[in-house]
Chain A
């Protein structure tokens, strides 16, 4: 919660399954502690089905703070392969600097 007067950041979350059967969660906008819980709920519903692989499409994500990273990281404990698709340099750098490049690899 960002407080009574700190408005929520805008985030759009879209979950689909690609032709190969892999769930793809597209996150666009800004992901921070004010709205990370909505992504958390989406991820929880997907991981409940026990997929082998999960892809986060971050091409439209402009900002992500540690609360957002925590959601991505928590997915890695439930799905064996979690990959990021097309993260912006800003997001990519956050992941690098937190030492998570190995945990959250970019889709080859």
Chain B
């Protein structure tokens, strides 16, 4: 029955372990399956943390991109304003190059009384295709109908427009500056410039015209300082298309980012409107907001992915921890079950009842090791030999497990059988020794055998390597001293000795196995003294005393089983 039980317990062990492992695998697979399902719907159901990380990343990115864009725009506007001023300065600087030849020609005409020959000779280098002017002419001032007296190059367009000419020269009389007007010649639109000696009412005015492109479109040459700009140049302050002189764009008015400046030009003004061809501050700064936006969005996505990954890992770890927890608790439960099976088995091998004799109380405790699932080899027996005598046997088979338990059972029953033949403790031990030595074995057992005479208050004791019992009376507690013989199963032909001691009234005898006093790294005597001290502390009833000893000495984590038997004289 013992073997059957043990096998059953082993079968339970392996069976349950496999089941637990399979359960663990299943649960792990389950976790894997759920993570697969999770990844397939990831784009639809990211974790909250990942969504937050993504949104935060996008917000920061947007803020940076907008800031960068604002800075870029401000910078571009500032640069454009600077450029339009530069352009204005360039235009203003052009005035002398027009005014100087005309002023010289006017003065020359005044000095030569309008010599056509001198005028022609002087102006000829300035006039012609590819030169500064398309035509130059000399106009006497103070006439009701102004007309040129001499002309170089093509015919002046102003000459065919008498009304405009009159107004123009009337204005010329009032100004000391270069007089500018728009003209439309047969060859196309143009600009007319006039200069006369300041204050002269009857002198001569030198007049020149330059042609504008027929469609008024002209691109700035690519090698100029302004090639990165588009522009529109108007005569006067108005940006009406009728005032347009020349532009580099197809469609007017110029839209988008632009800057304008009004530049004084002679007695008139030019309005310059410019717009950049491309970013003035460089392409990198123009693309910076986009670079920030794209990289930021990518970073936000990466952060979200990373967060998602961490969140999923955590989830998996939690799931795994849950599974491991379950497996661990199953293991604990299994272990507890096996431990309790072992205890049940152990108890089954111990006596169910203790003898009841007049004048004697008998009590016992068995404390299994707190750890371990094996059955120990400790046992005890108290049997009544007759009305007056009780035989106590307590022993400990070395080792643990099935072999120790079966040996213990065999020794226990053999001891009881020998005791019925001869109740002398030394004889019982000698027969046990013979019994054990008859077979092959690699264990030994310590056995204490005591014959107790109740009325005679006598104790006859023999020990095969077993620790001595403690005798407690009103004066104190002391271990019974006697010769200890060799443990059972060590050598053949041992002569066992027994000692008889008298027992004081109301004395208590405590017999025990080494688990009660044995501690690692400690001399056995220290443990024995601890027991003696605990037992003598207070006079207690037998059950209370055993409970106290058990609680104080065997309650801590101990690896060995412990058996305690107490016998108390009632008189």
Q: Which residues of A contact B (CB under 8 A)?
A: 1-6, 30, 32-34, 36, 40, 62-63, 65-67, 69-71, 73-74, 76, 89-90, 93-94, 97-100, 102-103
Q: Which residues of B contact A73 (CB under 8 A)?
A: 444, 487, 489-490
Given contacts A3-B372, A65-B518, A97-B484, contact A70 B467 (CB under 8 A): no
Q: List 17 A-B contacts (CB under 8 A).
A: A2-B371, A3-B369, A33-B559, A36-B399, A40-B442, A62-B521, A65-B518, A66-B396, A70-B399, A97-B465, A97-B484, A98-B446, A99-B465, A99-B484, A99-B487, A100-B487, A100-B490
- Interface-lining segment among B210-218, B276-284, B502-510, B522-530: B522-530
Q: Which of B232-259 contact A (CB under 8 A)?
A: none
Decide: B490 and A90 in contact? CB cutoff 8 A. no
Q: Which residues of B contact A1 (CB under 8 A)?
A: 372-374, 400-401
Rounded to whole Å, the gap between the CB of B491 and the closest CB of chain A is 6
**Which residue of B has the minimal Cβ distance to A94?**
B524
Decide: A5 and B484 in contact? CB cutoff 8 A. no
Decide: B400 and A74 in contact? CB cutoff 8 A. no
At the interface, is chain B mostly helix, strand, loop or mixed?
A: loop
- A90-B524, A103-B491 known; 5 new pairs, CB 8 Å cut-off, are A1-B400, A63-B520, A65-B514, A70-B442, A71-B442
Decide: B520 and A4 in contact? CB cutoff 8 A. no
Q: Which residues of B contact A40 (CB under 8 A)?
A: 442
Decide: A76 and B398 in contact? CB cutoff 8 A. no
Rounded to whole Å, the gap between the CB of B398 and the closest CB of chain A is 4
Set A3, A74, A76: member contacting B373, Cβ < 8 A:
A3
Question: A63–B514 Cα gap in the complex (Å)?
Answer: 13
Q: Which of B190-233 contact A (CB under 8 A)?
A: none
Question: A30–B560 Cα gap in the complex (Å)?
Answer: 14
Question: A97–B524 Cα gap in the complex (Å)?
Answer: 9
Question: A30–B559 Cα gap in the complex (Å)?
Answer: 13
Decide: A6 and B372 in contact? CB cutoff 8 A. yes
Chain B CB within 10 A, most for which of A69, A70, A100: A70
Decide: A100 and B465 in contact? CB cutoff 8 A. yes
**Which residue of B has the minimal Cβ distance to A1?**
B374
Given contacts A93-B525, A97-B484, A99-B463, contact A69 B374 (CB under 8 A): no
Chain A CB within 10 A, most for which of B466, B518, B522: B518
Given contacts A76-B490, A76-B491, A102-B486, contact A5 B523 (CB under 8 A): no
Rounded to whole Å, the gap between the CB of B441 and the closest CB of chain A is 8
Does B464 make an interface contact (CB < 8 A)?
yes
Does B435 make an interface contact (CB < 8 A)?
no
**Which residue of A has the minimal Cβ distance to B339?**
A3
Q: Which residues of A contact B446 (CB under 8 A)?
A: 66, 98
Question: A5–B370 Cα gap in the complex (Å)?
Answer: 10
Does B443 make an interface contact (CB < 8 A)?
yes
Decide: A32 and B559 in contact? CB cutoff 8 A. yes
Decide: B443 and A90 in contact? CB cutoff 8 A. no
Q: Which residues of A contact B463 (CB under 8 A)?
A: 99
Q: Which residues of A contact B485 (CB under 8 A)?
A: 99
Q: Which residues of A contact B126 (CB under 8 A)?
A: none
Q: Which residues of B contact A99 (CB under 8 A)?
A: 463-465, 484-487
Question: A70–B441 Cα gap in the complex (Å)?
Answer: 10
Question: A63–B527 Cα gap in the complex (Å)?
Answer: 14
Chain B CB within 10 A, most for which of A2, A3, A5, A6: A3
Decide: A70 and B443 in contact? CB cutoff 8 A. yes
Given contacts A40-B442, A90-B521, A94-B524, contact A33 B491 (CB under 8 A): no
Question: A42–B538 Cα gap in the complex (Å)?
Answer: 49
Decide: B486 and A103 in contact? CB cutoff 8 A. yes
Q: Which residues of A contact B490 (CB under 8 A)?
A: 73, 76, 100, 103
Rounded to whole Å, the gap between the CB of B546 and the closest CB of chain A is 22
Q: Which residues of B contact A98 (CB under 8 A)?
A: 446, 465-466, 484, 486-487
Does B335 make an interface contact (CB < 8 A)?
yes
What sequence of 0s and 1s flags, for each residue 456-497 of chain B, a beta carbon within 8 Å of any chain A beta carbon?
A: 000000011111000000000000000011110111000000
Given contacts A67-B399, A99-B487, A103-B486, contact A2 B559 (CB under 8 A): yes
Closest 4 CB pairs of A and B: A3-B372, A6-B371, A98-B465, A70-B398
Question: A103–B560 Cα gap in the complex (Å)?
Answer: 24
Set B373, B401, B466, B522: member contacting A4, Cβ < 8 A:
B373
Set B373, B399, B486, B522: member contacting A66, Cβ < 8 A:
B399
Set B331, B335, B444, B523: member contacting A89, Cβ < 8 A:
B523
Set A67, A93, A100: member contacting B486, Cβ < 8 A:
A100
Question: A36–B560 Cα gap in the complex (Å)?
Answer: 14
Q: Which residues of A contact B486 (CB under 8 A)?
A: 98-100, 102-103
Q: Which residues of A contact B400 (CB under 8 A)?
A: 1, 33, 67
Decide: B371 and A5 in contact? CB cutoff 8 A. yes
Question: A104–B373 Cα gap in the complex (Å)?
Answer: 31
Rounded to whole Å, the gap between the CB of A99 and the closest CB of chain B is 4
Question: A4–B330 Cα gap in the complex (Å)?
Answer: 13
Chain B CB within 10 A, most for which of A4, A66, A90: A66
Set A6, A70, A89, A90: member contacting B559, Cβ < 8 A:
A6
Question: A30–B520 Cα gap in the complex (Å)?
Answer: 8
Question: A73–B464 Cα gap in the complex (Å)?
Answer: 14
Given contacts A67-B398, A76-B491, contact A2 B372 (CB under 8 A): yes
Q: Which residues of B contact A76 (CB under 8 A)?
A: 490-491
Set A34, A67, A97: member contacting B467, Cβ < 8 A:
A97
Decide: A4 and B335 in contact? CB cutoff 8 A. yes
Q: Which residues of A contact B442 (CB under 8 A)?
A: 40, 70-71, 74
Decide: B399 and A33 in contact? CB cutoff 8 A. yes
Q: Which residues of B contact A30 (CB under 8 A)?
A: 520
Decide: A90 and B522 in contact? CB cutoff 8 A. yes
Decide: B525 and A66 in contact? CB cutoff 8 A. no
Rounded to whole Å, the gap between the CB of B501 and the closest CB of chain A is 19
Set A66, A74, A103: member contacting B514, Cβ < 8 A:
A66
**Which residue of A has the minimal Cβ distance to B496?**
A99
Rounded to whole Å, the gap between the CB of B70 and the closest CB of chain A is 68
